Structure 1
Amino acid sequence: MGVRTALDAVLTAPSIVDAMRAADDLAFEAGRDPGARTIRLLAGVLRGHDELAAIAATHALAGMLDDAASRVLVGLLDDDREFEREHAAWALGSGLPRYDAVGGLLRMVVGGGFAGMLAQRTLEQWSGFAPTALVAGIEGALLGIAEPEARARLVETLGLVRDPLATGPLLRLASDADEPQPVRIAAVAALGQRPDPSAVVPMLESAAQGDGFLGAVARLALVDLAAAGPTTRGHGHGHELGRGLTVAQLFLHADLDPGLRSAGAGDNGGIATLLVRLGDALVADPGTGVNRVVTLSRGSAADALDDLVSVEASERGHVYGRIPLLHEPVSSAGAWPLRVAARRGIRRVLRAAGGADVLHLRMADVGSLAAADVARELGTPVVFTLAPDPHAVIDSLDRSGRLARGDFGRVDLAEHFWFRARLVNRLAADAAHTVLFPRPRLEDDLRRLVGVDLATDSERRTIVPEGVDAAAVDRALAEVGTPRTGADASPALAELRRLVEGLDPDRRGRPLVVSVGRLHRVKGMAALVEAWAASPVASRANLLLVGGDLASPSADERAELDRIDAIVPPAERARRGLLLPGHRPNDVVARWLAAARLGLPGSVAPRGVYACGSLKEEFGIALLEAMAAGLFVVAPNGGGPATYIDDGVTGILTATSDGARLSAALGRAVAVAQAETDDQRAERSRAMVRDRFTVQRMARVLAEVYRTVVRDEATLLESAERSR
C-alpha cells in the first residue's frame, strides 16, 4: 500500500471508526518503510488540525522502531496539546527504552489520571531493560514531590521494577513512619512482588502485626510472596481429574454479593446481577460440568483476606473474591489508575483458587486490562464477550455531529475512545473464544465498526443471549397475586405501598411507569423523567425510578440527580408522581415489577409499563426481567432489545435519544397496557423469556463454550509436549 496511500486512507476515511481502523494500516506501512521521508509525512500530520489523524500519526511513529521517530515521540511529551502528550506516552511503550523520556513520563505519573496510567505502563514495559535508570529517576523524583498521592504513584511505579535494585528503597519507604500513609501502603503492597522475598519478609511480618489498613495490606503482601510459582490448576486439569471445571468471571466496578444488596448503586448495574445469577446457575446444574465459579469484584483489604480463605478451601459452588483497590471506590471511567492494584488482587484470588480453567471477561475496562495480563502470566485461557463498544458510541456521536475529527483528541481525553477500542480488539484477538450478543445486524456491525469478520474462525465464536432468573420473577408474581387481608405479603410490597402513600392523595391508585438501572447519563434516567414529564401520560401514571446511591452518590449519580431535580424539583415530586427510592436488592425489584403488572389495591393500579431510556443497551437484563413479569415495555430501537421485543406487540422500540419520540412512546405504551382486557399479551412476553432468555439456558450454552475451550487448550498442550 505504501505510507502515502495509507495516510491518505486515514485522512479521507468516510467515518471516524473507518479512520481508526485505517490507522492500523498506517502503522504497519510506517514500520515497513522507516526513514526520513516517512517521519516528515507523519510530522506534518502531527501539526495539523485533524486531531484524529494526529493520533494515528503518533502511533505510526511508534511502529517504525526508529531512533529518529522515537525522538519525535519524546518531544511530544512536552506538546502543548494534552491528548498528544497522552498518546505519545502510550506509543513509546512499543519501543525500546528512551532514557531522555523517563523524566517526562515520571512527570505524567506524578500528575496521575489516565495519562499517568499510560506513562506508568510504558515505564513498566521498559523496566526489565533499564532498571538502574528507572530506580534512579524515581528516587530523584521523590526528592521533589511532597503531595502524598503523587508520591504514592511514584512508589507504586518503583514497585514495578522487578530488579532487586528497587527492594532497598521500597523497604525504606515502607518502614518510614514519617511517610504519609498512602506512600507506605504503596511500598508495602509492592513488596509482595519482590524477586528477593527473604529480604522483605521480616519487615512485612512486623507490619502485619498491626490492626489498621497498613497491617491488612502487609498481610496481603505476605500472601503474594507465599503464592509465587506456578499454579496447580488450569489447562483442563480439573476436567482431567474428574472434579469439574473452575470458571472465573470478573466485574471490578461493583460490590457483588449473593443477595445483590448493592444492585443499582454506582456501577452495580445489570452486569452485576447477571454474574451473580449466572454463577449460581452454572454450579447448580450438574450437566454444565462446572463445579466452581469464582466471581471477582472490588472490596476492602480485610474482606479480601477473608475471601482468600474461603476461595482456597472451596472445591465447588459459587464463591466470591474481593479485589482491594487500595483506594476509595470510583466510577469505571475513572478507575484506570488502579490497574496495578487490580492486577495484584486478581492474581492473588486466582492463585488462591489453585488457578482457573477459564477466565471470562466482558468489559473494555481496567479490570479486563489487568485480568488479561494475569491470564497471560498464569497461562489461563480467556473467553471474551465481544460487543461494538465503544465503537458504536463513536459511530453514533460521529453521525449526529457531536464528535468530529477536529476535536476527537480533546474528547478522547475524557472518554478514552482510542484506548478502549484498541483494548476490545486486543482482547478479542487474544481470546481462546469470543461470545457475542444477538443484534439485528450483528455481522455487519462487527465488520463495519470493529473490523471483525465472523466468518473467520467461526468455530471460536458463539452467540449467547443473556438470561434472567424467571423463577424468581414467578415467585414474585405469585406473592403479589395471592389475595391477602391485613399486611402485605412481604416487606418489599409494604415499602412500595408506603412510597406511594407518600404521594399526594390524588396520585394514589394510578399505574406505574417503572425503570430500573444505574443513575448514569448512558442509562438515560433523567431523559426518561423529562420525557414522562412532557407527556400527557404524567397525569395518568406515576414514575418509579429504581437505582442509584442517594445517600452517597458518585459524581455520575450526582450529575443525573441534578438533572432530575431541575425537571421535577424534590418539593414537587409528591404532587407530580415521581418516586425516587434509590437502589434496591434484586428480589425487591422483582416484587415491585410484579406489583406494577398486577397492582396493589388502593395504591397501585394494575397494567403498568416498564421503560428503558438508555442511549444504548447491548442486551438489557432489566428489560427481560420486566417482560418476565408480563409488563409491556419501551426500549431502545437498536442493540439487543430489537432482537426480542416484538415492536407494537410486546413493547415499543423507539429512538430513546430523541426526547419527543421517547415521550410519545411512553404515552402509547401506557394506553396499550391500560386497554388490555386479558393476559394474552403478558403471557406471550413471559413465554418468550421462559423459552429463550433464562439464566439457566445461558449457563448451559456458556458451559459448552468453556468445555470446548478447555479441551482445545489441553489438545494444544499435548501437541506441544509431543513436539519437544
Structure 2
Amino acid sequence: MLADGGAERLSALLRRTLLDRPGEPVTGWLLDLAALHGLAPLRADEVRAVGDGAPLWRYLHGIGLPPRGEPRSPYEKLLLDLLGGGGSAPRAEPVDGPAVVQSMLIGGTGRPGEGASGGLGVFLRSLGDALADRADVGRVVTVVLAANPTALVVERAADREHWTVHVPVDSPVALDQREMGGHRAAITWWLRELLSRHGLVPDVVHVRYSDDGSLAVADAARLLGARVVFTLTPDPHRHLAARYPEEGSDVDALRFDLHRVRVADRLVGRADTLVAIGGRGDELLEHFPQLEHRHAVAIEEGIAPLAGTARPALVRELFEPSRVFPRLDDSARGLPVLLNVGRLHPVKQQAVLVRAWLEAGLHRSTALVLIGGSVTDRTPDEQAVLDEVLALAASVPGSRGRLAVLPAWPNTKVRELEHTLVQAVLAPSPHVYACASAKEEFGIAVLEAMEAGMLVVGPRTGGLPHYVDHGRNGFLADTSTAEGLGDALREVVALGDATRAVADAGRETVRERFPIARVAGAFARVYLDLA
C-alpha cells in the first residue's frame, strides 16, 4: 500500500537504480518489489536487459507480457508453469465465517524435531484443526515453505476446512532466519498468487517470529486486504547484553539480532492486533515501549488430547541395538527414565543435559533418552549438537547402556511413548521429562509430557513458570549451567516415589487449563473481532 504520490516516486527511484547499476545482486529483489506493487519502472526491452530468471518473469507477468525462458531448476519450471496457466490444485469453495491464515516458515508442521521444526509446528497443526472445527470460523490455511520444490502443493485436510499451502522457495535446503531476507519479496508474491488462485484469500493473517519471513507474510496480507495479528515475544531483545558482552563479539550475529529487533518493531507497527504468549506482559513492556499505548492480548498455548493405550513396543525400540547411536541395554531396565524430545539445537541444550546427567552421577541410577534430529541431511546445528553428545557419552564408559539417542519421531509416537512409560514401565520414582532449554517461550513438549503424567523439570526462565508451580505440579531449574541442571535433576530423582503426587498434579493442570479446544476459542475471539 503506497501513499498518494508514493507510487510515482518509488517507480522513478527503481528505474534509476535498475538502469544505473545493472546486474547487481539486488536487481531481482527490486524487480519483485515492482511486481508486488503493480509498478512498471522499466519497459519490456529494458527489463530484459537488466534481469533474468524468476524475478524477470514475475515482472513481465505483472505488466501483462508472457514470460519466456528455459527453466534452470524445478523452482523456475513451477513458476513458468503457473504463469503459463498450468497447475491443477483444488479451488476452495466459499465458506461461512472468516478465513484465517497462520504461517509456519521456520521448520514446518510435518515432522517436529527435524531441522528447525519443533513445538510451534505441533501447536499450529492442532490449533488449525481445532479452529476449523468451530462453527464460527470458516477456514484455516497453514502456510509452510517448500525448499527445492518439484510440484505446487495446495491441499485440504480430508475431514475439515484446514488447508496447507506450500510456498516454493528457490533454495536446495530449508531456509533459516538469516536467509529469509533474500527471499522476502518472492515469498510474498507466491503467497498472494497461490491464495488468490485457489480461493483461499484470508480475512485475518497471523504471523509469529520476528524475522523477514513474517514480514513477507504480513506484506501478502496487506496486498490481499487482510488484517494482521502478530505474536510478539521478548526474543532476541532480552539476551542481547549477555550474548554480546564485549568488543570482539560476533559482529555478523549482532547485526542480525539487531535487524530482528527492528523487524519486531515494524511488525508491531503493522499489526492490527498483538498477542502475547501467556502472562508475559511485564517482560514485553520492558522491550517494547509501544505497549504503553497498545494492548497485547495474552493467550496461552495448548495441546490436543491423545487417544490410545500404552504401546510397550515403543519402549523396546529404545533397547534395539544400533551401529551408529547409543541405545539402552539390560542394565537400564527398571530405572527411571529421563526423557528429552526436540530439535537438536544449541538453544535446546541437549549437550548440557548429557553433561549434567554424567557429572551429577545420574547415569548410575537413571536412563537418559534423547529423541530429535534428522536421520540424514542434518543441519550444521544438528550435527554439532550430536557430535558433542556422542563425545560426552564416550568420555564416561560407565554410562554405556544407560543413554539412548534416537532421531526425531512423529509427534503421536512420542506422546504414546510418554504414556507408555507412565502406565507400563515400573520404576522406583516417576519418569522425568527433562527440558534443558536455555529458553522456552511456552513449551509444547513440556505440556505433552505433563499430560502423560511424567514429572517435569524445566527452566525457571521463559514461559514455564507461568504454569509450572515449583514443587506442586513440576520443578523449575537453573538450566544456564550443567552444574545447576545436574543438581536440580539429582534432587528431584532423590525424592523418589514422593513426587508421584507432583506428576499427577501436572497432568491435571494440563487437562484442565490447556486443552486445544479451549485455546482455539481464545484465538477465535481475536480473529472474529477483526474479521
TM-score by length of 2: 0.87
Aligned letter for 1:323?
Answer: V
Q: Which residue of 1 aligns with 2:402?
A: 577
Question: Which residue among 311, 317, 326 is the counterpart of 1:495?
Answer: 317
SS in 2 for 1:129: helix
Question: Which residue among 336, 341, 345 is the counterpart of 2:181?
Answer: 336
Change (3 A) 1:576 1:154: farther
Change (3 A) 1:222 1:533: farther
Counterpart-to-counterpart distance in 2, 1:505 and 1:358 = 54
1:651 matched to 2:474: yes
Tell me how large the CA RMSD over aligned residues is: 3.5
Counterpart-to-counterpart distance in 1, 2:435 and 2:8 = 43
SS in 2 for 1:568: helix
Q: Which residue of 2 aligns with 1:268?
A: 117
Question: Which residue among 350, 359, 365 is the counterpart of 1:540?
Answer: 365
Aligned letter for 2:245?
Answer: A
1:404 matched to 2:245: yes
Q: Which residue of 2 aligns with 1:661?
A: 484
Change (3 A) 1:556 1:353: farther
Aligned letter for 2:168?
Answer: P
Structure 2 gap segments, 5+ residues each: none
Q: Show CA shifts across 1:265-312 (max 9, x none).
A: 1110111111111101111233xx1121100111157565231xx46x
Aligned letter for 2:268?
Answer: A
1:194 matched to 2:60: yes
- Are 1:301 and 1:323, in contact at CA under 8 Å, matched by a contact in 2? no
Counterpart-to-counterpart distance in 2, 1:330 and 1:274 = 21
- Are 1:507 and 1:575, in contact at CA under 8 Å, matched by a contact in 2? no
Q: Show CA shifts across 1:23-79 (max 9, x none).
A: xxxxxxxxxxxxxxxxxxxxxxxxxxxxxxxxxxxxxxxxxxxxxxxxxxxxxxxxx
Q: Which residue of 2 aligns with 1:32?
A: none
1:561 matched to 2:386: yes
Q: Which residue of 2 aligns with 1:178?
A: none
Instruction: Report which of the two has the higher share of helix.
Output: 1
Q: Which residue of 2 aligns with 1:324?
A: 168
1:422 matched to 2:262: yes
The alpha-carbon deviation at position 192 of structure 1 amounts to 2.4
Matches within 5 A, 1:171-570: 171=48, 187-194=53-60, 197-201=63-67, 203=68, 212-222=74-84, 243-256=96-109, 260=110, 262-286=111-135, 289-300=136-147, 305-307=152-154, 310=155, 317-328=161-172, 329-351=174-196, 352-395=198-241, 397=242, 402-404=243-245, 406=247, 410-411=250-251, 413=253, 416-439=256-279, 442-453=280-291, 456-458=293-295, 461-469=296-304, 471-472=305-306, 475-476=307-308, 478-480=309-311, 488=312, 492-498=314-320, 502-569=327-394
Structure 1 gap segments, 5+ residues each: 1-95, 98-123, 143-149, 175-183, 226-231, 481-487, 711-724
Change (3 A) 1:213 1:703: closer
- Are 1:521 and 1:556, in contact at CA under 8 Å, matched by a contact in 2? yes
1:619 matched to 2:446: no
The alpha-carbon deviation at position 568 of structure 1 amounts to 1.7
Aligned letter for 2:164?
Answer: Y
1:135 matched to 2:18: yes
The alpha-carbon deviation at position 446 of structure 1 amounts to 1.9
Q: Show CA shifts across 1:411-455 (max 9, x none).
A: 35456122111211221232111111123xx3331222222435x
Counterpart-to-counterpart distance in 2, 1:212 and 1:443 = 45
- Are 2:393 and 2:399, in contact at CA under 8 Å, matched by a contact in 1? no
Q: Which residue of 1 aligns with 2:513?
A: 692
Larger of the two Rg values belongs to structure: 1
- Are 2:278 and 2:298, in contact at CA under 8 Å, matched by a contact in 1? yes
Where relative contact order (Cα < 8 A, 6+ residues apart) is larger, the structure is 2
Counterpart-to-counterpart distance in 2, 1:363 and 1:418 = 14
The alpha-carbon deviation at position 338 of structure 1 amounts to 2.2
Counterpart-to-counterpart distance in 2, 1:423 and 1:212 = 31
Change (3 A) 1:624 1:699: same
Counterpart-to-counterpart distance in 2, 1:544 and 1:324 = 36
- Are 1:391 and 1:450, in contact at CA under 8 Å, matched by a contact in 2? no
SS in 1 for 2:406: coil
Change (3 A) 1:524 1:573: farther
Aligned letter for 1:191?
Answer: W
Change (3 A) 1:198 1:128: closer
The alpha-carbon deviation at position 528 of structure 1 amounts to 1.0
- Are 1:597 and 1:609, in contact at CA under 8 Å, matched by a contact in 2? no
Aligned letter for 2:108?
Answer: D
Counterpart-to-counterpart distance in 2, 1:125 and 1:390 = 37
- Are 1:596 and 1:606, in contact at CA under 8 Å, matched by a contact in 2? no
The alpha-carbon deviation at position 649 of structure 1 amounts to 2.5
Q: Show CA shifts across 1:110-147 (max 9, x none).
A: xxxxxxxxxxxxxx9985222332232343x46xxxxx
SS in 1 for 2:339: strand
Counterpart-to-counterpart distance in 2, 1:389 and 1:357 = 28
SS in 1 for 2:291: coil
1:168 matched to 2:45: yes
The alpha-carbon deviation at position 343 of structure 1 amounts to 1.8
Count of residue pairs brought into register by the alignment: 515
- Are 1:131 and 1:163, in contact at CA under 8 Å, matched by a contact in 2? no
Change (3 A) 1:573 1:163: farther
- Are 1:291 and 1:316, in contact at CA under 8 Å, matched by a contact in 2? no
Aligned letter for 2:161?
Answer: G
Counterpart-to-counterpart distance in 2, 1:224 and 1:427 = 35
Aligned letter for 2:185?
Answer: V
SS in 1 for 2:42: helix
The alpha-carbon deviation at position 466 of structure 1 amounts to 0.3
Counterpart-to-counterpart distance in 2, 1:671 and 1:571 = 22
Counterpart-to-counterpart distance in 2, 1:407 and 1:223 = 53
Change (3 A) 1:370 1:626: same
The alpha-carbon deviation at position 166 of structure 1 amounts to 5.8
Counterpart-to-counterpart distance in 2, 1:655 and 1:126 = 55
SS in 1 for 2:476: strand
- Are 2:143 and 2:165, in contact at CA under 8 Å, matched by a contact in 1? yes
